[in-house]
Amino acid sequence: MNPPDEPPPGLIASVRAVGREPQQRAGQRWGFGAFLLVEAVFVLSAVFITALARTSGTDIGSSVTFILVGSMVPTVLAAAVAVVITRLRGNGPLTDLRLRWDWADVKVGLKLGLLGLALTYVAALAWSRLVGDQNATSAIGELVDGASLPLGAAVAMFLYVCFVGPVCEEIIYRGLLWGAIERQGWSRWAAFVLTTLIFAASHLEPLRTSLLIVIALPIGIARLVTGRLTASVVAHVINNFLPGLTLLLVTLGAMPA
């Protein structure tokens, strides 16, 4: 606790303190191999679902089941494997992935999430003008483009984009990958840079990679300044809210694509 006559450290002070805080990872017996395994689970599950749909003659672009399963299952499954790895080879997700709850972290996540939302809007607007609206569309946006989803499916997609997806992605990248980098003795600044770049590249959308880096910066900063995952999860949720809401309204036909 801070002394009564001393104000709590602000965001700038937190940034200056980054790198001076020791990162103890006693008992953690997983590293980059765990992250590669999780990425393999993500890719192979996505390939398997796509192959299964094509083998069964399913129209990938119009199947509600495929849109939901293909979008959600690979990320959720990969995050679940990450959690299992921390239980089997470490101290569990709360310790190894820095998932401890702190209201101060929530506040940092809200501030940086709102900042990121504004930054994302400006960057996306500039990017769409540069490359065109069609080329700026995300992979999930392309998947549901022109698809009229039932109310239940549209709400499920909204909940995934705004809440489930951000939690799972933070577990994988700023949880598991960040922890693997720190275990090598590298600094938190190195973890911030590498996880930001790998997070953007892992979406497998080459044209949007630079835009994704911009989007990921405030989220990574939230993890950087707090040392925990809660802030980056909150920042990620806030950042995804408007895109998720837009996707919900478009799929319901309430607004034009």
pLDDT, position 21: 47
Q: Give the pLDDT confidence score for residue 2 in this predicted structure.
A: 47
Q: Is residue 46 part of a domain?
A: yes
191 and 178 Cβ atoms separated by less than 8 Å:
yes
pLDDT of residue 6: 41
Is 148 part of a structural domain of the chain? yes
Give the containing element (helix H, strand E) for 150. none
pTM, whole model, 2 decimals? 0.86
Residue 226 lies in a domain: yes
- Cα separation of 49 and 153, whole Å? 18
Residues 91, 195, 176: CA angle, nearest 5 degrees: 15
- Note the Cα 132 to chain centre separation in Å: 25
Q: How far is CA 215 from the centre of its chain?
A: 10
**2 CA to centre of own chain:** 32
- Rounded CA gap, 72 and 180, in Å? 25
In the chain (257 residues long), the average pLDDT of successive 10-residue segments reads 47 52 76 97 94 78 78 96 97 94 94 91 79 57 60 89 96 98 94 97 85 93 96 95 85 70
The amino acid at residue 172 is I
Looking at the structure of the chain, the number of domains it has is: 1
**CA–CA gap between residue 130 and residue 122 (Å, rounded):** 12
Structure tokens at 225: 């300044």
Q: Please tell me the predicted confidence (pLDDT) of residue 147.
A: 57
> What pLDDT sits at residue 14?
54
Residue 172 within any structural domain of the chain = yes
The residue behind tokens 């002394």 is: 3
Structure tokens at 77: 């499954």
Residue 8 in any domain: the answer is: no
Query: Is 16 inside a domain boundary?
Result: no
Ramachandran area for residue 239 (φ above 0: left; ψ -120 to 50: alpha; else beta): alpha
Look up residue 240 and give its two tokens. Answer: 């995804």
Instruction: Give residue 204's pLDDT.
Output: 82
Tokens for 174? 């700023």
Residue 23 lies inside a defined structural domain of this protein: no
- CA dist., res. 199 & res. 195, Å (int): 6
Q: What DSSP state is assigned to residue 9?
A: P
Per the domain annotation, does 41 fall within a domain? yes
How far is Cα of residue 256 from the mean position of the Cα atoms in its chain? 27
Whose tokens are 């911030």? That residue is 192
**Would you tell me the crossing angle of helices 103-131 and 209-226 to the nearest 10 degrees?**
170
What does the pLDDT read at residue 221? 97
State the Cα–Cα distance between residues 156 and 171, nearest whole angstrom.
20
**What domain range is 96 assigned to?**
29-251
